[in-house]
Structure 1
């Protein structure tokens, strides 16, 4: 599942090198003589762009900030409506609120991602952005989403925070829409501890993102940094050289992580007792990240019976249902006091999504699991299925 499983020698050597060859310069700008020409955050950004076949990558401090920076770059302002989905991490909606925009949250379908029909029905004259979230490694239905965006001339910002490395019809998640964002926190596919990335092929969006995340610095080559030019108000969301160094080491492990995810998920999914369950609809089987196996029962009672026995056997779930409070908008009453449309309806607004999640189980897939452990896990799952 996450890059932290493989955190080790390579990451430590990358960090040590900052002190051995760059005199411990941790700031991503300046100090040229001390750092001996190494700019590790910039190196990480270039390596990521090359790996993902996109023109521009901007590293920032978190996936949450990545979305905020992306929305600023895309011109989203206070009062604009931004459509996203009910099953996502809380940060997706937090970012919308932080910018002063209005979250318009719609149900998911059997992909556990945004329902394109619900998306189109929610569009109004105030809709300025669509944010599909590729939840738990499964790409959203991007063909339909992009078609809707084009039809109404609304840009698409892909939230790929939980799907870094997944592809959709041969194209990297995050590169299909106008902008993509990723998280590099400690539970993600690759990690820098904390961190995020904004990727785009749009040079104007990149220009604004680059300036906004760095106090408005234009990085004008005609001036030293202390006299740098600026034209917009910015913030400080800069990634440090330590994160850049770790990111470079982790990026080299990405293909191995994805390969193992898919191998282990395939083994469990192919051999599970399927008589009482339905698997999540995967939009692109070859492109699925493979870090999560999601299935659902006919009703919540069966799901709860499975869960009780599964936990008693020493296993845990991933977000569904163990952290559902942070991944379903129907739990976020603290957010909606100032969102008029949901102030009185948040408990029932997303009943379709609530019903699906209530009868679902998400199982994490780990990179370092050995064959014997996988076989034992499978035996536990199938024995529970036989009991309920």
Structure 2
């Protein structure tokens, strides 16, 4: 699955160049002479946008901060309602709350992403933003979601943290709506350790995000940084040159990572197709998904639990479902709901999502698996399912 599998001497050499070629300037701005006019964060933004077919990208400290920055720059404020989905990473909800807005969470469908029908039912005159989340690499039903958003004149922010490298009808995730965000943490498609990226074909919106990331700096290159102007205030969410040095190598690996995942998933899924009497795959919206995960459901939670035990006996674990559900399904966000006025009866909310997730199993697909690894893994998975 992730870029950390591939970290090697190339990333190490790139980091050392920050010291060898730029005299240890770790800051993304200024010190032009000392750094020999090498600006790695800016170069990483350009390279990232180009890799996805976008016009402009803005690097920041994390996927979570990317989410918050994008929301702030879209004008989300206290009293607004932001619709997202019940199956997501908690950061999506945290960013909404950090804006002072109300999170409105809707059920998922068989794509394991936002249900367009549930979305439309949740829209009110206070709805100011829609945030579909491309969970575990599978793009949401963006045609339907965008049509609903357009009908109600509401912007869309794609949380594509788990879907870097996926496309939907030929367009990269993150570029299917007004603005998109990505995480670059250590478990994502490519990594800078921690880090995030915001992307859009709306250059004015991205420019606003870049300013917000850097205390509101207008970044007027004709002025010394200390005399730079500002049109509004922001905060400090700047990426460092060390992170960008790693990112510049990692983004070059993106095509290989995505192609490897797709090939490996195809092999495993072909084997699992022999068990369609016992398992049902999620609905894939585009064959060019980020194929780093296989997720399917069984007839009951009891069968899912038994399969997880069978997999463990074969030395295999799961990915997010169910091992990290506490951080990915709103039913378990007690630390949020117990401290807000929302969803006081949260244990009984999102019953459609709960029914599906409670009987689901998700398996990781790794980049560096050899042919021998794949043979062993497919055999082990088959054994686990056949014992049900």
**Fold shared per TM-score above 0.5:** yes
1:117 alignment partner in structure 2: 117
**Distance in 1 (alpha carbons) for counterparts of 2:111 and 2:199:** 24
How far does residue 341 in structure 1 lie from its aligned partner after superposition?
3.5
Deviations 1:341-363 (A, max 9, x none): 412x2101111111111100000
RMSD of aligned Cα (Å):
0.9
Paired residues in the alignment total 386
2:69 alignment partner in structure 1: 69
2:283 to 274, 277, 281: 281
1:193 alignment partner in structure 2: 193
What SS does the corresponding residue of 1:294 show, helix, strand or coil?
strand
How far does residue 312 in structure 1 lie from its aligned partner after superposition?
1.9
How far does residue 338 in structure 1 lie from its aligned partner after superposition?
4.4
Describe how 1:1-388 pairs up with structure 2 within 5 A.
Answer: 1-272=1-272, 273-285=275-287, 287-343=288-344, 345-388=345-388
Deviations 1:73-119 (A, max 9, x none): 11111111000000000101011001111100000000000000000
Check whether the contact 1:165–1:189 (CA below 8 A) recurs between aligned residues.
Answer: yes
What TM-score, normalized to structure 2? 0.98
**Distance in 2 (alpha carbons) for counterparts of 1:169 and 1:241:** 34
Deviations 1:9-50 (A, max 9, x none): 110111111111110110000001100010000000011111
Point out where structure 2 has 5 or more consecutive residues left out of the alignment: none
**Distance in 1 (alpha carbons) for counterparts of 2:247 and 2:383:** 41
**Distance in 2 (alpha carbons) for counterparts of 1:32 and 1:387:** 64
Point out where structure 1 has 5 or more consecutive residues left out of the alignment: none
What SS does the corresponding residue of 1:361 show, helix, strand or coil?
strand
What TM-score, normalized to structure 1? 0.98
**Distance in 1 (alpha carbons) for counterparts of 2:170 and 2:279:** 29
Check whether the contact 1:82–1:104 (CA below 8 A) recurs between aligned residues.
Answer: yes
What SS does the corresponding residue of 2:366 show, helix, strand or coil?
coil
How far does residue 222 in structure 1 lie from its aligned partner after superposition?
3.4
4+ runs deviating over 3 angstroms: none
